[in-house]
Amino acid sequence: MNTATIAREYLFNFHGVELRFSTSAQAFVAPVLTFLRHFHAEGVHGDTVLTMQFEEVASRADVPVKVSDTGKILFSGTRPAMGDSLRSLWRCEVVQDGDRLIADFHEQGVLLIDGTRNLVEGYFVRPDAMHPDVRTSFFHFALAELLKRNGLYTVHATALEYQGRGVLIPGYSGQGKTTSFLSLLRSGFRYLSDDFPLLRDQGAHMELLAFPMKIDVTDRTTEFFPELRNAAPGILQQGICKKFFQAEDLYADSIGNSCTPAMIIFPHVVDMPHSCLEPLPKSRALEALMPQGLLVYDQAVARREFQILTRLVQQVDCYRLHFGRDILDLPRLIKPLLEVP
């Protein structure tokens, strides 16, 4: 069933970078508005305005985006299409076609990203059959590509702020990233992002910017925190793989905005009664941080992102966190290192 309606427009502001999003596909409205709930704007006023347009099409043949013969394939891959009631396989090719980046999801649709015009066009087949998280992921991918072309870079890490100083916690699943993040959040730290905070080069210093989104938790992580174990019905909701909640639903006034990054912590879980921090050389910290950057397809953007991450590491203290069983006591270890004399 085609759920397309008359296109509606929504306006957002990302720390001074403005976005105009329009869609005639009702399936995208709720996921996008939820995803960007902290960035709503009444209008656009600046010179730099990003434009994203998502439409529903009846079939792949109706997508009005063609790749030229000179297009270069930068990525090709498949994986199970979790949460999609219509398709069992996710297929993607990312093609550089002149100044355009085209993400071809085959029978699911196409994203065209034109960085020179700050424009994204998305065309999707039966988006209502996709899980809301999948629709959000398409939107987030395209948005991140536009933002990094406008000086806002992202890294795969949780991020918090304490007394104006920022903490980044990168890491893969199972290394204690979310658990350490929640241990700090519940103790008075302010929430910047659970997965993809923004970085901006301010010349004299780096700026860490909030990109709040839902917080994903496993059942094991939930068991560590009484407020999660005993959360009221409806607070914890089921996503594709994990449960999730919104920070403000459990931790009042917990959303931050921006700060100066001061510390990067690389956690790994150890079977010890007490956690401890080990200072990490800058070279090793940069080596550990680089895989946490998002895949960058444009060479010029990739060079700038490398410079951003290098400057970040040079300006902060870097530690390896040997994360023991004293999970709720982690703030006692971290706070003294952030407090300004």
Domains of the chain: 4-150 (no CATH), 154-338 (3.40.50)
pLDDT band at residue 4 under the 50/70/90 scheme: very low
User: Quick one: pLDDT at residue 3?
Assistant: 47
Residue 2: its pLDDT value, please? 47
Segment 182-185 long-range contacts (CB within 8 Å, at least 24 positions apart):
182/215, 182/217, 182/221, 182/224, 182/225, 182/228, 183/224, 183/225, 183/327, 183/328, 183/330, 183/331, 184/160, 184/330, 184/331, 184/334, 185/160, 185/247, 185/251, 185/254
Kindly state the percentage of the chain with pLDDT values over 70: 97
Type of residue found at 322: H
Assess whether pLDDT exceeds 70 at residue 295.
no
Question: Which DSSP helix (H) or strand (E) runs through 103?
Answer: strand 100-104
Given its phi and psi angles, is residue 108 left (phi above 0), alpha (psi -120 to 50 degrees) or beta?
alpha
Question: What are the beta bridge partners of residue 167?
Answer: 160, 263
Model pTM? 0.91
What phi and psi values does residue 32 have, to the nearest 5 degrees?
-70, -45
pLDDT range class, residue 290, cuts 50, 70, 90: confident
Closest CA to 30 of 108, 125, 111, 132: 132
Between the CA of residue 194 and those of 44, 217, 241, 247, what are the distances in Å?
A: 27, 10, 16, 9
**What is the spatial distance between Cα 128 and Cα 125, in angstroms, rounded to a whole number?**
9
Q: What would the mean pLDDT of 218-247 be, rounded to a whole number?
A: 93
- 7 Cβ contact list (under 8 Å, min separation 6): 22, 23, 24, 53, 55
Average pLDDT over residues 199-226: 93
Instruction: Classify the phi-psi angles of 286: left when phi > 0, otherwise alpha if psi is within -120 to 50, otherwise beta.
Output: alpha
Average pLDDT, whole number, for the chain? 91
Q: Of 302, 298, 303, which is closest to residue 95 (Cα–Cα)?
A: 298
Average pLDDT in the 291-314 region? 81
Phi, psi at 134, each rounded to 5°:
-70, -45
Q: Is 85 helix (H, G, I), strand (E, B) or coil?
A: coil
Token digits of residue 46: 């600046």
pLDDT of residue 286: 93
Instruction: List the beta bridge partners of residue 114.
Output: 100, 119
Please work out, in degrees rounded to the nearest 5, the angle formed at the alpha carbon of residue 77 by the alpha carbons of 74 and 146: 50
Do the strands 206-209 and 198-201 form a parallel or antiparallel pair, or are they unpaired?
antiparallel
Q: Is the pLDDT of residue 18 over 50?
A: yes
Q: For the ranges 38-47, 67-76, 213-222, 241-250, which has the lowest average pLDDT?
A: 38-47
Torsion over CA: 82, 123, 155, 196 (sign): negative
pLDDT in tens, 324-333: 999 999 999 9
User: What integer pLDDT is reported at residue 171 of this predicted model?
Assistant: 82
Cα 310 versus chain centre, distance: 20
Please enumerate in sequence order all residues whose Cβ is within 8 A of that of 296, keeping only pairs 6 or more positions apart, or say none: 148, 302, 305
Closest by CA to 131, choosing from 13, 280, 28, is: 28
- Residue-wise pLDDT tens digits, 243-275: 999 999 999 889 999 999 999 999 999 999 999
CA–CA–CA angle 140, 313, 318 (5° rounding):
105
Structural element, H or E, at residue 52? strand 49-57
pLDDT for 287 beyond 80: yes
Which tens digit of pLDDT belongs to each residue from 79-122?
898 889 898 898 999 999 988 999 999 999 999 999 899 999 99
